[in-house]
Chains A and B, each alone.
Chain A
Amino acid sequence: MTELADPDVRAVSPARSRYQSDEFVARLRRRYAAEQRFKYAGMAAIGLASLMLVVLLGSIISQGYTAFQQTSIALDITFDAAEIDPQGTRNPEVLAQANYAKLIRDSLGTVFPEATSRADRRTLSDLLSSGAPFELAMMVRDDPSLVGTTKRVWLTASDDVDQFMKGFIPRNVAETERRVNDVQVAAIDRLASKDSIEKSFNTTLFTAGDSREPELAGIWGAIVGSFMTLAITMALAVPIGVSAAIYLEEFAPKRWWTDLIEVNINNLAAVPSIVFGLLGLAVFLNFFGMPRSAPVVGGVVLALMTLPIIIIATRAALKAVPPSIREAALGIGASPLQTVLHHVLPLAMPGILTGTIIGMAHALGETAPLLMIGMVAFIVDIPGGFTDSATVLPVQIYMWADSPERAFTERTSAAIMILLGFLVLMNGLAVFLRKKFERRW
C-alpha cells in the first residue's frame, strides 16, 4: 500500500510501470472489494443487533407504558359518624375496624339508584379495587375530622375496569366473553359522562409491595430487597475480591498453586449461577441455619457469584498499570505494600470500579441462585432489615409474568423497564467513572 500512497508512482505514467499492470489493478480491486465486503458485513451485524434491541425495547415499552397509568373512580363518600365511630371516641383502633366497604356500597347506591338486587349491587362494588376500603381507612386515620362529613374521593378502580378503560378488554363482544359485564359497562359509561372516572399516574406501582390484585401491586418491596441484597453483596465481594486480586497479582509468587488458583477463579466465573444457589441452600440455610428468603443470604450467595468477576477485572486493571510506576516507587524507597496502596491501586481504581459495577449489575439481574434460598416468594411487606423476608426486582418480574390476571402483563413490562433503567444507570456510572479517572500512558 505504501507504493500507492506515493504520488510519484502515478506520476510516471503514461509509461506503464509494473505497479499498473492489469494483474496489479485486478489484485488491487479484489483487495478493495474484500475490504468493502468486510465493512458491509460489520455494518449488517451492528444493524441486526440494533434491530433486535429496538424490537426488544419496542415490545417492552409498547406493552408496558400503559402500566404507568391507573384508573380511579370518584365517589361522594359520606363518612357517617354512626357507622365509623358510633361512640364518638375517635379511638384509632375503632376507626381502623369500621366497615368502610359499606360506605362505598352506600355511595354507589346513591349514584346508581336503579341497582337494587343484591347481584347488581355486588357487580357495582366490583368496579372498585378490593383495596378501596383500606384507602378510606387510611384517609380517616390521617384525618379523623373527616368523620361526619361528605367528601368527593378518588378511589382505585379494579384491574378489570382499568383494563377496560385502557382498551384491553373489548367492548363489542358477547357479555360472557369479557370480564366486565353489561351492568358494569353501563356504570362505567355513566361515571365517564360525569367525569368521575379517569386515568392518572400510577403511584402505587412505585410505592407498594407486591399484591395479588394488580391495581394494588407495586415494586417498592422488590427495589428495597434488591438494594439490601446488593449492599451485602458489595460489602463482601468488593473488599475480598480486591484484596485477593492484589495479593495474586502483586505479591503471590508464581508457582503451580497460584496457577491452579487462577484457573479455578476463571472457572468459577463461568459456573452456572444456580450452582451458587444450591451452595447457599446447603451451607447457609441448612448448615448455619440462616433465615430463608432473607437478603443477607441472597447477598452472600450473589457475592460468591460476583467474586470471580471482580477478581478478574481487578487483576486486569492492576496489570494495566505500567511496571515503571512500581519500579519508580520502589526505587525511591517505598515498601511493596506502600507501592501498591499509594501508587498502583489508585491508578487501577477506574478499571476496578468498572469491573465492580458490571459485576453488581450482573448480580442485580440474577434470579436463579435466589430460587433455592427462598427469595422467589410472594412477599407483601416491605423488608425493614437484612434478615426480613424479601424478594428482588427480576424475581418480581418473573412472578408477575406468571400471574393469570391480565393486568399483570403490562405491569411485568413496566417492571422490566424499571429494572433496565437501573441497569442503564449502573452501566452509565461505570462508563462515567472510567472516562473521568482514566489515565493514559
Chain B
Amino acid sequence: MKTTTLALTAAAVAALTIGAAGVANAQSRDQIRAVGSSTVFPFTTAVAEAFGKTGKFKTPVVESTGTGGGLKLFCGGVGPQHPDIANASRRIKKSEVDQCAANGVAEITELKIGFDGIVMASSKAAKHYDFTRAQVWKALAKEVPVNGKMVANPYKKWSDVDPSLPNYDIEVLGPPPTSGTRDAFNELMMEGGCHQVKEVAAILTDEKARSKACLSIREDGAYVEAGENDNLIVQKLGANPEAFGVFGYSFLDQNKDKLQAAKVDTVVPSYELISSGKYPVSRSLYVYVKNAHVGVIPGIRELIGEYTSERAMGEEGYLADKGLIALPKADRDAARVSAVNLSPLKL
C-alpha cells in the first residue's frame, strides 16, 4: 500500500506545480482578450475567428459579460491580467471613463462598428399589427395617465389601449433588466413612447418623477422577462401566437419564415431603414480598445484593422451576414481612421 501513498503525494505535488506554473504564466499573454456586451459578442467573435484564420496570431478570446460588466473588467487596469478590448451596446459613460482613468487606463480608442435594431415581432400565425411607441408604452408602463391621474396600468388587452389594436391579452416577452437590449428598449421605446403621451408631462411636472414613470415597466405579468436567450423568445412566440417578443434584429433576420415584425411609428424594421436611422428603436454598437496594450499584446492593431475593414463591417461584409447593420460610408471611414490613429476618446 506504499504505492497508494506515493501516488497520492505525487498527484498532490503535480497539482501544486501546475498551479505554480499558472501564476508564472500570467506575467505575459500572446492572445488578445475581449469582454463585454452579449449583443456585440456575435460580431466580435466573427471578426476574431476571421482574424485567427490568417494564421499570424492566436484567435482572440471573447467573453460575453454584458456591457456594464465588461467595461468594469476593461477599466480594471493596465497589464496582461486585464482585457484589451471591451464590447458595448451603448456608449461608455463618463463615470466609466473616470473609473478607467483612476485605474491607469488613460487612453481608450472608441470604434463605432454598426447599428442594431430592437424589434417587436410576433409569430407568423398571428394577425399582423403595427404599433406606435406611445401605444407600446401605454401597454407596458407601470402607471399610465387616466382622467388626469397616474394610476396602476388598467389595460388587460391591446384593444383597451387603442381600439385599432388586436383583441389579444397584452403579453410581451422581453429581456431582463441586466441586458443591454433592455436598456436600449427602455431608453428608445419606453422613454420615446412616454414623451409622445402628452398627459404624462401635464400630470408629472417634476422631471425625476416623470422619468421614473416613463421607465417603469409593469410587473403584473404582462411583460414577461424571458431571460437573456433570444432564441427562447423566438420559440415561445411560435407556441403562443398572441404574444409579442422584443429582441435584436439579427434574430428576426434568422427567423424570417417564423416571425413577422411590427412596424414601430409606421417604420418597418428592415436593414435599410435601420441603417439610415429612420427606424426609431435602433442603437449604435461600440468597441473600445485599450491603447496602452497596443504593441504589448500582439495583434491588437491588426485585429481592429480587420474589424473596421470593408470586408467585415461593410454593407456586404461578413458582419452584415451575422445581422450587424452597417454604418453609413462616412462613419465607416471615420472608424477606420480611428483604428489606424488610435485617437483617444474624449468625453
Enumerate chain A interface residues (CB-CB to B < 8 A): 96, 122, 130, 134, 169-170, 173, 176-179, 211-213, 232, 235-236, 238-240, 242-243, 285, 288-294, 296-297, 300, 341-342, 345-346, 374, 376-381, 386-387, 389, 399, 401-406, 409
Contact = CB atoms under 8 A, between A and B. Distances in A.
Binding site secondary structure of chain B: helix
Contact of B52 (A296, A381, A405): A381
B206 interface: no
A288 B46 contact: no
Contact of A291 (B11, B29, B62): B29
Contact of A404 (B4, B9, B22, B254): B254
Contact of B19 (A173, A300, A342, A402): A300
B12 interface: yes
Contact of B231 (A377, A381, A401): A401
Nearest to A96: B55
B322 interface: yes
Interface in B7-53: 8-9, 11-12, 14-15, 18-19, 21-23, 25-26, 29, 31, 33, 38, 41-42, 45-46, 48-49, 52-53
B41 A239 contact: no
A213 B8 CA distance: 44
Interface of B: 1, 4-5, 8-9, 11-12, 14-15, 18-19, 21-23, 25-26, 29, 31, 33, 38, 41-42, 45-46, 48-49, 52-53, 55, 58-59, 61-64, 81, 228-231, 248, 250-251, 253-257, 316, 318, 322-323
B72 to A, nearest CB: 12
A236 B18 CA distance: 11
Residue from B9, B22, B81, B250 whose CB has the most chain A CB atoms within 10 Å: B22
B179 to A, nearest CB: 12
Nearest to B80: A291
Given A173-B257, A232-B15, A243 B8 contact: yes
A308 B167 CA distance: 56
Contacts of B59: 379-381
Contacts of B41: 378
B63 A402 contact: no
A401 B229 contact: yes
A404 B251 contact: yes
Nearest to B15: A235
A40 B11 CA distance: 51
A290 B22 contact: yes
Given A212-B46, A376-B63, 19 more contacts: A96-B55, A178-B256, A235-B12, A235-B14, A238-B8, A243-B8, A289-B81, A290-B22, A300-B19, A374-B63, A376-B64, A377-B62, A379-B61, A380-B48, A386-B21, A389-B31, A401-B231, A404-B248, A404-B323
A164 B325 CA distance: 25
A169 B257 contact: yes
A152 B256 CA distance: 35
Nearest to A240: B12
20 contacts: A130-B318, A169-B257, A179-B256, A235-B14, A238-B8, A243-B8, A289-B81, A291-B22, A341-B1, A342-B1, A377-B64, A378-B41, A378-B64, A380-B49, A386-B22, A402-B228, A402-B229, A404-B250, A404-B323, A406-B254
Given A169-B257, A380-B48, A403-B42, A292 B33 contact: yes
Nearest to B62: A378
Contacts of B322: 212, 404
